[in-house]
Amino acid sequence: MFGAIPLLIVPFVLYNLGLLGLFGGGDDPWASEMLSFHMMSGGVFSMRLGDLVVLIGLVFLFVEMVKSARTTNASIMDHLLSTLVFIAFLVEFLLVKGAAHSVFFTLMIIALFDVLAGFSVSMRSASRDINVN
């Protein structure tokens, strides 16, 4: 049951919590620096909150790709729910002022890749399961 829940809902929820001011106030909570350290090369590596949310989205995209390779009855529900998550991203991007941000757009494209790749992998694996005589 819980295997069918799309994990990309987590970055969606995290972004909306940031819009509500949970991760700090200001105009752009995604620009706040999470960590920074000096490299041996002399450069400075810094990670902002927006970068961290996108990184979380990419990790969950990988897990979703692994989940899409299985051929169970739950995979159909998983693809349907992933499509609904992408639609939620798209609607919020078009209608909510705070979602007009590059971090949200990147998360929306990650959700689109999840939908497209999930259906592609499923169709590819389903064609291997069909025997034509």
Q: What is the pTM of this model?
A: 0.85
Residue type, 66: V
Model pLDDT, residue 21: 80
**Please, which residues have CB within 8 angstroms of residue 130's CB and are 6 or more apart in sequence?**
none
pLDDT in tens, 68-96: 777 667 777 888 899 999 999 999 999 99
Tokens of 95: 């209608």
| Confidence band, pLDDT 50/70/90 cuts, at residue 133 | low
